[in-house]
Structure 1
Amino acid sequence: MKQVMCSCALISGDGANDVSMIQVADVGVGISGQEGMQAVMASDFALPRFRYLQKLLLVHGHWCYSRLANMILFFFYKNAMFVLLIFWYQFYCGFSGSAMIDQWYLIFFNLMFSAFPQLVTGTLDKDVSAETLQQLPQLYVNGQNSEEYKPYMFWMNMIDAFYQSLVCFFIPYFAYADSDVDLFTWGTPITTLALLTILVHLGIETKTWVRT
């Protein structure tokens, strides 16, 4: 039996006698070898050799944490911004709960327009190259210390959503102030401007462009 345990409750094993430990661990890694496939079938990740455990932790573990942290922050940001657009309109409709955005835009804005780009970056974004992560194993400590998901980062994203929603709402509002356009014709530029702002924000936050 071979096993590796760390502070994040990661356990790896290569035999049937390791199955119970793998199942109770936060992350279980099964090694396929001469002792059979029981450990692999009970694990979260399967590796053919123990030597690949280093890359799994230092490279893919780091990337996974970085992607998840940034994806969660972005989803909070984009949803808060979109809701705030409708909130500002409530001051002009007597808080009736109506929206100036077409129902199809309301459905697809979060379902597709702003979700797919983030799912791509949440799957493929790499803040540091694999070579650098293996050469500098101390970078793994960033995930253990939650360096990319601090409370102040959440509130910074909420502040971004607040003032960006103000800009996206009131630019079309003042542009159409003296016109006789209908409600949805006025709401469409607001939606478009908000979507472009969210995508630019995502592009700035994507670390692949500047990775080392």
Structure 2
Amino acid sequence: MRLGTGGTLKGVFLCFASICAWYSGYLLVELIPDVSLSRAVYNIQSLSMKPVLKAPAPRRQKCDHWTPCPPNTYAYRLLSGGGRDRYAKICFEDELLIGEKTGNVARGINIAIVNYVTGNATEARYFDMYSGDNSGPLTKFIQSVPEKSLLFMVTHDDGSSRLKDDAKNAIEALGSKEIRNINFRSSWVFLAAKGVELPAGIQREKINHSDNKKNRYNGWPAEIQIEGCIPRELS
């Protein structure tokens, strides 16, 4: 009989405790304004919605240089062809002078001429050195370039098979050290000037020879490039 009474008392106590807990929660909800509850819920949700801070994208430089050229200088970038379908490019002051997008690039030696005083491109041509007799026209073209001009030369595919001594002499007279080393499908880039003395510290020429080894271009040499800044006024 005592055990039954004890169980009944425990049940009554648990029931009373549950009612007290429910009533306490009810009072808490009634005492706290709805605005405060809503604001608390919003603050919790907004923690996961805050935008993630990202570093700003680097500003694009002329001719895709990594760093900007100093004031009062010209920016340039020369890129040879690489493989059959990666065409050569010549960029000057962020203007594409020769390239696939301009439609004036082809197999052989590609040349762009810029007026050093004004910075304006005056002519862009290519000379096929694999088919046809274009060494003579290339020589005459180089010799006809006016004074105070910048000359940018890049190869695509083959620039040497029909390149004769007359053209090599003309390019050598402009300061080339590698023109006589160019081979079949060598990648070659060259910066020259006529009537202008270029700074001694800039890279003016680069060459990469083809080989018979298998590489990403199946034996063709990879593209090469040079880029830099030329002062607008030279002492």
Q: What TM-score do you get using the length of structure 1 for normalisation?
A: 0.23
Structure number, greater radius of gyration: 2
Query: What TM-score results when the alignment is normalised by the length of structure 2?
Result: 0.21
More strand by share: 2
